[in-house]
Structures are given as structure tokens and as C-alpha cells.
Amino acid sequence: MAKSKSKSKSKNTKERIAPLGDRVLVRPLSQEEGMKRPSGIIIPDTIDKERPQEGEVIAVGPGKYDDGKLVPLYVKKGDRVLFSKYGYDEVKIDGVEYFILKEENILAVLN
């Protein structure tokens, strides 16, 4: 019996796309979301032009193998991260833009 199309549309993004290896699925933050820091400090727009990108981790891969052992990723779903400006691939899912990047392109986890 074939699966109905309505079930596939009801799945959330994490169920529809699963990063492989040490890759991470990130939703880039809008300028408004990225300008205000969790500490309440607002970053001026002039500084915002050339800084690395910011986003929220939506899904993570299982990790990468090192000498035959699986090494899990440091980042986890829900983390707010700062990542390299040119170190990602863009994908659109249901009209929403996401980035897929390797964990090594993540510069920091923001608290």
C-alpha cells in the first residue's frame, strides 16, 4: 500500500531532511533576529555587514568516523550558532531557506 501524500506534508523539517555524517541543518536568522543578542545588546547595522552568519540548528547528522569510531557532533538541535559566511549549501524546503554545513564551518555556539 502506498503512503498518502498528506502524511508527507505533515512531517516536520527534521523528519523530511536528515543531514549525513558531520553535517548540520541550520535555519538562518533574519536580520532582526540576529541583531539583538540574548544579553540584550543590539548590534548596529554598520557592523552587521561583514560578520559571519547566525542561525538556529534544526537537525544534526550522526557524526563522523575517526579510526572506526563514531564521533558525535558537539552542536545539537535548538543551538544558536555562528558559522562561516561561505561554508554552506543553500536548500529550500516548503519555501523556507535552510543551510547545510559541516560542523567544522560552525565557529561558535551562542549562549
CATH number at residue 89: 2.30.33.40
State yes or no: pLDDT of 96 exceeds 80. yes
Residue 2 included in any domain = no
Give the number of domains in the chain: 1
State yes or no: pLDDT of 7 exceeds 50. no
- In which domain, by residue range, is 52 found? 23-110
Residue 77 included in any domain = yes
Highest-confidence segment of 52-56, 69-73, 86-90 = 69-73
**What does the H/E/C string look like for the chain?**
CCCCHHHHHHCCHHHHCCCCCCEEEEEECCHHHHHECCCCCECCHHHHCCCCEEEEEEEECCCEEECCEEECCCCCCCCEEEECCCCCEEEEECCEEEEEEEHHHEEEEEC
pTM tops 0.75: no
Per-residue confidence band for 111, with pLDDT thresholds at 50, 70 and 90: confident
State yes or no: pLDDT of 80 exceeds 80. yes
Residue 98 included in any domain = yes
User: What are the pLDDT digits (tens) for 36-51?
Assistant: 555 666 655 555 455 5
Residue 8 included in any domain = no
What confidence score (pLDDT) does residue 6 get?
44
When pLDDT is averaged across residues 67-95 and rounded to a whole number, the result is 92
User: What are the pLDDT digits (tens) for 9-19?
Assistant: 445 655 678 99
What confidence score (pLDDT) does residue 40 get?
61
Residue 12 included in any domain = no
Residue 89 included in any domain = yes
